Amino acid sequence: MIAEDWFYGIDEPERGILLTLRRLIQDHAPELDERLSYGVPYYFGKKRVCFLWPAGVKWGPDKGVLLGWCEGHKLSNEKGALEMANRKQVALQHFYSLAEIDAAQLTATLFEALWIDENP
C-alpha cells in the first residue's frame, strides 16, 4: 500500500478525485495490490489492472486525473466512458471534478477488468 503522504502531496481538486477513485478501487477490489509504478498508483492482480495519473506528476495531464485501464482494449465499454484514442491497449477515463465520477459505471468496469485479469 502506498503511503498516505503521496496522495496528500497532490493539490486539490486532483487530490479529492484521487482519494475518491482510490476508495472505490479499494472498497470493491481489496485483493488488488496498490504500489507506485512510474511514479503513480497502480493496482495489481495477476497483472496490472488499472492506475491513477493526476495532474501534478511528471507526464500527467494538464488538469484532472486519468484513470487508466491496463487491458482497456478488452473491456466492453458499453456506455462509451473509455477512451482509446490511438492507443492499442490502455483505455483512459479523465476526471476533472468529483461530480464526474459515476460510481456504478466505475464499479462495473472494475469488476470486468478483474475478470479479465483472472481469465486472460
Q: Which domains does the chain have, with CATH numbers?
A: 4-113 (3.90.1150.200)
Q: Which grid cell is 45?
A: 492482480
Q: How confident is the model at residue 78 (pLDDT cuts 50, 70, 90)?
A: confident
Lowest mean pLDDT among 28-37, 54-63, 83-92, 111-120: 54-63
Q: How confident is the model at residue 94 (pLDDT cuts 50, 70, 90)?
A: very high
CA dist., res. 9 & res. 48, Å (int): 24
Using alpha carbons, select from 65, 49, 68 the residue that is nearest to residue 57. 65
pLDDT in tens, 29-62: 999 999 999 999 999 999 999 999 999 898 888 9
Q: Where are the alpha helices (DSSP H) in the chain?
A: 4-8, 14-28, 103-118
Phi then psi for 100, rounded to 5 degrees? -80, -10
CA dist., res. 69 & res. 1, Å (int): 19
Element (H, E) at 91: strand 91-95
